[in-house]
Every structure is written in C-alpha cells, then in structure tokens.
Amino acid sequence: MGKMGAFELNYSSDIDLIVLYDENASVLAAGVEPAQFYVRLTRAPGQADAGAHRDGYVFRTDLRLRPDPASTQIAISVTSALNYYESTGQNWERAAMIKARPTAGDIAASESFLREVAPFIWRKYSTMGPWRTCTR
C-alpha cells in the first residue's frame, strides 16, 4: 500500500503492509493454528527490520493500515478482511486501498483479494452525502 504500492518509494518512506492468509488454502501441518502461525511469521522479519542498524534502518514497515488495527492481529484471514471492508470499512481505508498491490507471497491470491475488495474501493454510489458545488 502507500508509496510502495504506487511505486513512489523514496529514502524516507516506510512500507505499509497488510498481511492476509487464506485459512482454507493453508498447507500447515495438522494441529497448527493458522492465525497464530501467520502472526508469528509476520512478527519475525518485522523485528529484524524495524530497528536501527549501524548503517541506518533496513526497512521501516507499518502494519497499521490493516483492517481495524486496534482490534486485529498483524496477520488476518482473507475472510475476516473482506467481512470488515464490507461491513465497517472507513473512507480513509478506501483511499489507502487504491494504491494496494501484491508484493509477496501468493500473488494470484493477492490479486484475487483485490478483485473481491474492489466494490468497497470503487463504490458505484457515494454515501458521504451530496456533493456540493463551490461557488465564488
């Protein structure tokens, strides 16, 4: 998302990420809880990259643009994300999703998610109230 999604990264940019997993397509060992596994998997590189190193930051990543960041884990299921956007997605999230693009993992699954969330991003009708014409 953000500048990375729009191919606009510069030296001071952070990288805004949303980490999704498909709980039905997972190839985890029997007994492994997908939610816990993907949260741990997401935290590991973030801890290594987030700190300052001798030569500066490797990457500054931001996972706060995911659906409902105050009450969700850093990796959430595709189903949960779609349900969230369909029911309570905010206008700022709609604007942020415009720049979203697949960058890692299962690219085809990511593109499928973006197709499914497209009605949220590109709504046919606005619910923000009537447009007002500026007059001078």
Residues 91, 125: Cα–Cα separation, whole Å: 13
For 46-84, the pLDDT digits (tens) are: 555 555 667 666 667 777 777 777 777 888 899 999 999
Cβ neighbors of 73 (< 8 A, separation 6 or more) are 35, 39
Q: How confident is the model at residue 1 (pLDDT cuts 50, 70, 90)?
A: low
Residues 75, 34: Cα–Cα separation, whole Å: 10
For 20-38, the pLDDT digits (tens) are: 888 887 677 788 788 888 7
Residues 39, 125: Cα–Cα separation, whole Å: 36
Is the whole-model pTM more than 0.85?
no
Q: How confident is the model at residue 10 (pLDDT cuts 50, 70, 90)?
A: confident
